[in-house]
Amino acid sequence: MITSIQQLKKHLTLTEEELSWKESPNSLPILITDYYMSLMDKTDINDPLRRQCVPTAAENRTAGLEDPDPLAEVEHSPSSRFIHRYKNRIALLTTDVCAQYCRHCFRRRFTGNLMGPLTEEDIRDCCSYLEKHPEIKEILLTGGDVLTLSDSFLHHLISCLRKASPALVIRICTRMVAVNPDRITDSLISVFKSFPEAPFYLMTQFNHPRELTESAVKATAKFIDAGIPAMNQSVLLRGVNDNADTLEELCNSLVFNRIKPYYLFQGDLVTGTETFRVPLEKGLALEKELRKRLSGLAMPLYAADLPQGGGKVPLCGSYIEGKDERGWIFRTSDNQKRIYPDPQE
């Protein structure tokens, strides 16, 4: 486990930008698993895996409209540990700890601040809120990374949530399968299998094809084989996956391994992450190119989570150009026109 610049020096020749990084209220601690370190090309300072986990001085700078809480999560938090921004679902911040800290993390206001797991009071508050709000149909177990919690803690937490809302759909939001697949044990899977009443969904974050190793695929397959569907939420990251070939390979590899590409997120305006954000014009061009290359099953939804709590919106060009006496005018993905008429009756 790598936890400092000094330890990184033993594995990598660091650049001046990396050596100049300082831990600050706007940055995250260093934490890199030995497993993920083994995947890096240590001779390449631009290695896309290195870029995701080795900090640089760019984190210590604030650009434009960046904010520690760009999605206004605090404003939408009835409690310090859960967020209710959408009517039918809440996000529960189960812990601020991750197995590895991603340098593009959008929740750095919370993550890595040594608060630890939920307390019993936190769990009671959340369950009470669920009982009073039957419109909530889904809960996202997030953080931090929910799978840093022990099996026994997870069992207790899920038991409480199921009792408060028996039909609740639970999303397991984790990067663990990508950064520390050995955590996915038979004992962990048995925790989820012991709750057959309502479904779980595994929400992964694979950002680059090289993260889909044999170990990561096997770890994810344990969930899928237990009846828990897997869906992937990638972040579009400059210098990591901001080209069509990489994204095409990633999405097709995900589908081949029974993981549905769900979202491709435009980078959030969180403090210290400008170096990761891809210009929107380039992102839209990538989305257009991917629609030519990928099947509907393999195509993720390119989306942005808008600043100031504006919520998620799709980012894709409209193929409708207008309407005339013949019907609707469409432009195809290869730039041809087609007419689609409305019914006459």
* 89: annotated active-site residue: yes
Q: What is the DSSP string of 157-197?
A: HHHHHHHH-TT-EEEEE-SHHHH-GGG--HHHHHHHHT--S
* For the chain, counts of helices (H) and of strands (E): 11, 12
Calpha distance 88→139 (Å, rounded): 9
Of these residues, 145, 222, 268, 302, which one is catalytic?
Answer: 268
Of these residues, 85, 171, 175, 210, which one is catalytic?
Answer: 85
Of these residues, 61, 89, 288, 331, which one is catalytic?
Answer: 89
* 102: annotated active-site residue: yes
Of these residues, 47, 69, 242, 305, which one is catalytic?
Answer: 305
* 86: annotated active-site residue: yes
* Vertex 203: Cα angle to 202 and 206 (nearest 5): 120
Of these residues, 35, 50, 51, 98, which one is catalytic?
Answer: 98
* 35: annotated active-site residue: no
Of these residues, 41, 86, 218, 323, which one is catalytic?
Answer: 86
* 85: annotated active-site residue: yes
Of these residues, 312, 316, 319, 331, which one is catalytic?
Answer: 312
Of these residues, 102, 126, 173, 251, which one is catalytic?
Answer: 102
CB 67 within 8 A of CB 307: yes
Element (H, E) at 34: helix 34-39
* 53: annotated active-site residue: no
* 105: annotated active-site residue: yes
* 312: annotated active-site residue: yes
Residue 239's region, left for phi above 0, alpha for psi from -120 to 50, else beta, is: left
- Residue numbers annotated as active site: 85-86, 89, 98, 102, 105, 107, 268, 305, 312
